[in-house]
Structure 1
Amino acid sequence: MTTLSDVRALLGESRFDWSDPEPWNELEREFGVAFPADFREIVDAYGSISINGQLYLKHPAVHLLHDLGSFVRQEIEFWREEDMAEFLPSRAGAGAGELLPVATATTGEAVFLAVPEGPSSSWRVLVQEMDSPSWTLYEMTFGAWLLAYLKGRDVTLCSRDRAPDGPFHAPLP
């Protein structure tokens, strides 16, 4: 299983280190789903950041410009519009079997967590490419997907050209 220490080894030290669970609790009550532990752990460690100047992650407790709750609400609404819904394999949302939007990229991709359909199912990652428009489902956790991205593997987003000297992160302004 991917751990935060694996991500830190490639991305560098985190300085956000959030420990209050209340923003997550509020978000999870609102959407009726518990975010995966690895996603929470990574976002709590780094906060709202840009990775390789390409991938954007947001934390639920950060100021209004970069909070995860606003992002998820706006993205669900966007992906449920009639002309956008056809570009996903299932409905955007937080219910079982739906796609929960959690990140975006400057290169036009949207990153979703596929909500497990049942207790024996696992979280998976789906990346939708706006320029294609196609999507790819990855049978891995968010932490494993992020680690593959940081290692330069092809997980729809490509970091080699954006981070020739190795992965890096910066807080969102």
Structure 2
Amino acid sequence: MGRSIMAKDLNEFLEDFKSLSMSTIDEKGNPFSSYAPFIKIEDKYYVYISLMAKHTTNLKNKNICSLFFVEDESKCLNIFARKRAMVQCNSNVIKQDTKEEIDLLEQFKIKFDDGMITMLKGMKDFHVFEFTPFYGEAVFGFGKAYNLGGKDFSQFVERENTGTKGHGK
């Protein structure tokens, strides 16, 4: 991920990521942040998480979340301008033991350890959640803020000039 140039799209930026940070909303309406390993297929993100985890309960009660991807601190050029993307999503739990779940778990096995996914599947309380983006932003340095757009929410879209000069320019 130590690229000093901007990624051409969100998918390129995410190539080296194995996990995502997610913010969910708890039963009191408070934000709750956590992380999970993920896979991305076309425009959707998938996590395999336990019913024992608070973020899973939050997602079952309110099916929205915000995903956050941020450049590794040790690889960034400026700590105040870490490359990052935020993706707001609707979530949906994938029914266990369906063809869809089996196919998705095969993709998890490819990206991660086959034995680990098999072990988690045996625990019976792990479920695949699907996240479908409805809004996103990316920041790749000072004055380099973009909306995410395109069919799969992976394209960097220049923001319209709002008449403000921003950052004192």
Larger Rg: 2
The structure whose residues are more often helix, as a share, is 1
Higher strand share: 2
TM-score normalised by structure 1 residue count: 0.23
